[in-house]
Chains A and B, each alone.
Chain A
Amino acid sequence: MPVTSKEQPRTAGVGRPVSRAAARSRRRSLDSSRRRRREGTPWFSYVVLTISVLLALIPLYWMFVVGSNDTSAVSRFPPVFLPGGNFLHNLGVVDSIVPFGRSLINSAIVSGAVALLQMFFCSLAGFAFAKLRFRGRRLLFLLVIATMALPSQLGLVPMYLIMSKLSWIDTYWALVVPGAVSAFGVFWMRQVVIGTIPDELIDAAKSDGCSTFRIYRSIVVPNIRGSAAVFGLFVAMTTWNDFLWPLVVLNTPDMFTSQVAIQQLRTQYTIDYSTVMTASVLATLPLLLLFVAAGKQLVAGIMEGAVKG
């Protein structure tokens, strides 16, 4: 660290010995309730945060407004700013263009499968990296981290060729198998295992003669269940939102995921916003509901995973 906090104050304190002494004595008196001065929350924090939250939520509100009105209502001046009653009618239009209900089911199947596979494979690998001793452990783990800096999306063309060779074009396999485990997930689950399971527990189980898989099944899994579920939720959401890869490998409307289906509603030069937004509402609502239910844990999970990032 270039400028430590100790250097900085020295210059600040030179001209003000009194305030320094005062600060010292204040420190003593504040030992029980530390950092009182900074602990007040300035009013502008609340103002800025409120504005930020409004900016974060208004576009979603706008999606509901447009999705529940007809197109002419949106192009009126001033535009409508309240939800209307046209949602079901728009839904009929959507379904006449693409099988949208089917696409939601496809999205759910793919997201669910990827999430479950990742929960299993990432926790298993995370457990190995966290608690098992084996040759090359450090190096292999660094390798896992390094792969995160690789933009694998750029291997799009060969990926397509591989999928054709496997006859996986237009199937769930193409979406599920490549996503079954991730470096990010291995890292996340390793953090979780380190944070929740003491080494003593593992050692005790080992001296009792437990196999490592038995340790995973009987000690690790029950203890990380909650965190793994949060991770699974995170994976399901990101998979649900995937766009480029499904767009490349899916051809028939019956196989489309919701994101690809929405894109089909948009022709090249015109967009009927009310239909597109109706579909967007349907494809976004499940995520928002999940988020309301488990967002608190998701926030905690993301922050825990980040500490050593």
Chain B
Amino acid sequence: MTTSLTWRAPATRGRNGRVSSVWERFTPYIYIAPFFLLFLAFGLGPLLFTGWVSLHDWQLLGDTHRYVGLQNYGEMFNDPRFWKALRNTLAIFILSTVPCMGLALGLASMLNNRTLRAKTFWRMALLVPNVTPLVTVTLVFTSIFGRDYGPVTWILRSLHLPVIDWGASAMTTQIVIAIMVIWRWTGYNTLIYLAAMQAVPSAMYDCAEIDGAGRWTTFTQVTLPMIRPTILFTVVTSTVGGLQIFTEPLLFTSPTGGNNGQGLTVTLLLYGQAFNSFKFGYASAIAIALLFIILVLSLVNFAVARLIRSS
């Protein structure tokens, strides 16, 4: 090991042959620098700049950006589309997250069983939806839930039930979009929960068993409290991701969220205002509003988690 090490001049050796130099103390920062630089340039920077743009009348064309104060925010609060988009987004978020978490917990506790056969098969099969492109997922489900044709309509007709025009009303649109989200994310969350469940010390289960706790009691009194940090983690990531939902409503309805805005979500509105109407200032105000909502909801998640822990 005596060759090497002068690959860059500053690395000189002190006693004991150690590389002891200012350079070596500095290198860890170089290794983590790419993350922080890119985050500043393409993460935090743009977010802060969004706040700045939101205070201006900022069109795509034209170099003058007139400062308008909070006017864009005023326009937003008076824009019925914004409220509709917010309602739809929250509805889709709740309709998708709650069942998704519940299903994932149930499936994970079934997979968390030593005698289960074909473990790898189940895990892989459940993860397949998560590697499927979002665009594909949306288009497949759009055709499955077609109004005139498609499997769902066929089943309803065969059972002599009324046929549903899924894309027509806000509620059915939300349901179909929620189904897409549930389909794509349940398997992934299942694996996350399963990993957390496997990390629970088996002594805890032994104790529960010795004391005669049944499956359900064990699940609610041992498993759930032990994996609470993981559940909180998935709730927060689902909040951040779910409230930005875009691809599903865009492709299931239209860039404007359908004729009556039944599929309009906040990010869809943001996208339309920015890249169809080229009102960058207004779009930025919407982005800041959504950012604020996401941060508040994430904090609420943490607060609720803390409350549960202390009670």
Enumerate chain A interface residues (CB-CB to B < 8 A). 1-3, 5-6, 8-10, 12-13, 16, 19-20, 23-24, 26-27, 34-35, 37-41, 45, 48-49, 52-53, 55-57, 59-60, 62-63, 66, 74-79, 121-122, 124-125, 127-129, 132-134, 137, 140, 144, 147-162, 177-178, 180-183, 186, 206-214, 216, 237, 240-241, 243-244, 248, 258-259, 262-263, 266, 268-269, 271, 273, 276-277, 280, 283-284, 287-288, 291, 295-296, 298-299, 302-304, 306-307, 309
Contact = CB atoms under 8 A, between A and B. Distances in A.
Interface in B236-252: 236-237, 240, 243-244, 246-247, 251
Interface residues of B, number: 132
Contacts of A152: 42-44, 46-47
B221 A155 contact: no
A290 to B, nearest CB: 8
B304 to A, nearest CB: 14
B188 interface: yes
Interface of B: 1-2, 4-5, 7-8, 11, 13, 16-19, 24-25, 27-29, 31-32, 34-36, 38-39, 41-47, 49-50, 53, 103, 106-107, 110-111, 113-117, 120, 122-129, 131-137, 139-144, 148-151, 154, 157-158, 183, 186-188, 191-192, 194-196, 198-199, 202, 204-213, 215, 217-218, 221-222, 225-226, 230, 233, 236-237, 240, 243-244, 246-247, 251, 254-255, 267, 270-271, 274-275, 280, 283-284, 287-288, 290-291, 294-295, 298, 308-309, 311
Given A5-B207, A48-B107, A214 B7 contact: yes
A149 B236 contact: yes
Nearest to A269: B254
Nearest to A23: B210
B132 A284 contact: yes
B90 to A, nearest CB: 15
Contact of B110 (A49, A125, A150, A161): A49
Contacts, number: 378
Given A158-B284, A213-B27, A284-B132, 5 more contacts: A150-B44, A154-B244, A210-B1, A248-B271, A307-B195
Contacts of A162: 41-42, 45-46
